[in-house]
């Protein structure tokens, strides 16, 4: 399957829109934060560590600042797309043809 995402670093805003499928950063950012929080919680649960809300918010802010400064690395957009689509009610829409 051919990917529509170019090789190399992807700009933050463009990558954010590709991950969430939203057209504006204002709509895409809350959805991306929710996906990022879910992924961070999953990682901390796997390591059997306790994660408070303050720590979670701090980690999310640090990650967002890093992505804004350095953009997305190659392959990160695809990884985040898979994580985002795995969340409830965030997958691709099914086209049902009416007969």
Q: What is the pLDDT of residues 31-70, one digit of tens each?
A: 999 999 999 999 999 988 888 999 999 999 999 999 999 9
In this prediction, residue 1 has a pLDDT band, given cuts at 50, 70 and 90, of: very low
Provide CB contacts within 8 A for 27, sequence distance 6+: 20
CA distance linking residue 1 with residue 68, whole number of Å = 29
- Cα four-point dihedral sign 27, 82, 62, 4: negative
Q: Quick one: pLDDT at residue 87?
A: 86
Q: Quick one: pLDDT at residue 43?
A: 92
3-class secondary structure, 79: helix
Q: Quick one: pLDDT at residue 9?
A: 84
**Strand ranges (DSSP E) for 6-87?**
none
Long-range contacts of 25-29 (CB under 8 A, 24+ apart): none
CA distance linking residue 53 with residue 33, whole number of Å = 13
3-class secondary structure, 97: coil
Q: What is the pLDDT of residues 14-35, one digit of tens each?
A: 999 989 988 888 999 999 999 9
Comparing 94 with 26, the larger pLDDT belongs to 26
**pTM for this structure?**
0.78
Q: Quick one: pLDDT at residue 93?
A: 65
């Amino acid at each position: 399957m051919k990917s529509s995402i170019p090789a190399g670093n992807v700009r933050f805003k463009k990558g954010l829109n590709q991950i969430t499928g939203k057209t504006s950063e204002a709509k895409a950012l809350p959805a991306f934060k929710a996906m990022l929080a879910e992924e961070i919680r999953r990682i901390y649960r796997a390591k059997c560590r306790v994660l408070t809300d303050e720590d979670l918010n701090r980690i999310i802010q640090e990650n967002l600042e890093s992505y804004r400064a350095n953009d997305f690395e190659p392959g990160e957009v695809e990884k985040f797309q898979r994580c985002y689509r795995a969340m409830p009610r965030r997958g691709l829409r099914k086209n049902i043809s009416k007969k």
